[in-house]
Amino acid sequence: MGVAGKHFPPHVNPQQDNAEAPDQAKPSDERVRKQSWFGHLLNRPEFAAISGTVLVFIVFGFGAGSSGMFALDGVMNWSQVAAYLGLLAVGACLLMIAGEFDLSIGSMIGFAGMMVALPAVYFHWPISLSILFAFGTSMLLGALNGYLVMKTRLPSFIVTLAFLFILRGLTLALSIMFADRTIISGVGDLAQADPIANTLFHGVAFHGLFTWLAHMGIGKLLDSGQPLVPGIPKVLIWWFALAAICAFVLAKTRYGNWILAVGGDANAAKNVGVPVKRVKISLFVLTAFCSCLFAVLQVCDIGSAAADRGLQKEFEAIIAAVIGGTLLTGGYGSVVGACFGALIFGVVQIGITYTNVSSDWFRVFLGVMLLLAVLFNHYVRRRVSQAQ
């Protein structure tokens, strides 16, 4: 006999067979692969930088913990160094993820600083207008960098290396032509007197809060009644804001996917409709913006502009990005990791002065960190490639 006109062998019960079907193990999907939490963590681009940061803090915690390095004023010292480099590392990181380099970052710092100082001091422009002029000029030069790379199809290394010398020479020539010297002072006073420049770029934030904390015993008070640490330097606020925005764009937006796709395979990205040229040129504009922001904050903070500012900053920015997990070949990286790379740089550079170790060893440590980061990134990239 059968069910619904169908016949089954005597030993088969169709109802029992249907009841047992859900309990049978389903074949596993070969596209889904289980991964341990450590393996997932290891594949994150910022893992090496975060681990390195923890290690650096442990080393200096034992080596300089009682020297004041981790007091409030010490924290502000090394965090400010990290913040300045972090501004450059964020822009350099995104450009490197897209598969390009900008070696004119350091020269752009000196050029942009001079573009702030010359009009304000010698042509009596409002300092806020000089700052706007510096941003506009720098970003136009960044766009020109990117356009030449895209138009000529020359390696960005070569094009931006040429701009490194062009901008450095132009900065020297203009400063000598108009000021007859390579250092221009008096910009800090102009920035302090200008409401816009003073609010955005000069001095510190939360001065009242830090004064209150010092009077409450949290922090030191000077004989004048002012706190030793007057507030949070504006560069820290700019760094956090820029890093947060760029990290969100890279991780959560279509433009961020475009950056990763362009760095992974520009031809494939172009074939699926990604505007490769527009993405890369915009990232060259971003690195120029970051360099100009560095210069404006530095000029307003120090009070002067100098033609030799920004020397070797392009290499330090690339080092911070690589330590942070960004591949030199493009297509893989993290803004958060680049920020941790900059933090390592700041902690080590200032932390050495709190120890008995000669500061001459700083460059050695930086080179070792770069080599270890490149080896680790190569290992992670090979793991990811084999898993695909």
* Domains of the chain as residue ranges with CATH: 68-379 (1.10.3470)
pLDDT digits (tens, 9 = 90+) for 218-261: 778 887 778 888 999 999 999 999 999 999 999 999 999 999 99
For the CA atoms of 319, 324, 330, 331, the dihedral, rounded to the nearest 10 degrees, stands at: -170
Q: Which residue has the higher pLDDT, 183 or 388?
A: 183
The per-residue pLDDT for 8 is 47
Q: What is the mean pLDDT of the chain?
A: 86
Please tell me the pTM assigned to this model: 0.87
Instruction: Note the pLDDT tens digit of each residue in 331-355.
Output: 889 999 999 999 998 888 888 888 8
Is the distance from CB of 79 to CB of 86 less than 8 angstroms? no
Please tell me the distance from the alpha carbon of residue 91 to that of residue 199, in angstroms, as a whole number. Answer: 24
Q: Could you give the CA distance from residue 63 to residue 349 in angstroms, rounded to a whole number? A: 14
Q: Please give the structure tokens belonging to residue 360.
A: 């001459």
pLDDT score of 255: 96
Report the pLDDT value the prediction gives residue 37, as an integer from 0 to 100: 59
- 180-189 pLDDT, tens digit per residue, is 999 999 999 9
Structure-token match 């947060």, residue found: 244
pLDDT of residue 2: 47
* pLDDT score for 47: 78
Give the Cα separation of 297 and 202 in Å (integer): 7
For the stretch 190-227, pLDDT in tens is 999 999 999 999 989 998 888 888 888 777 888 777 88
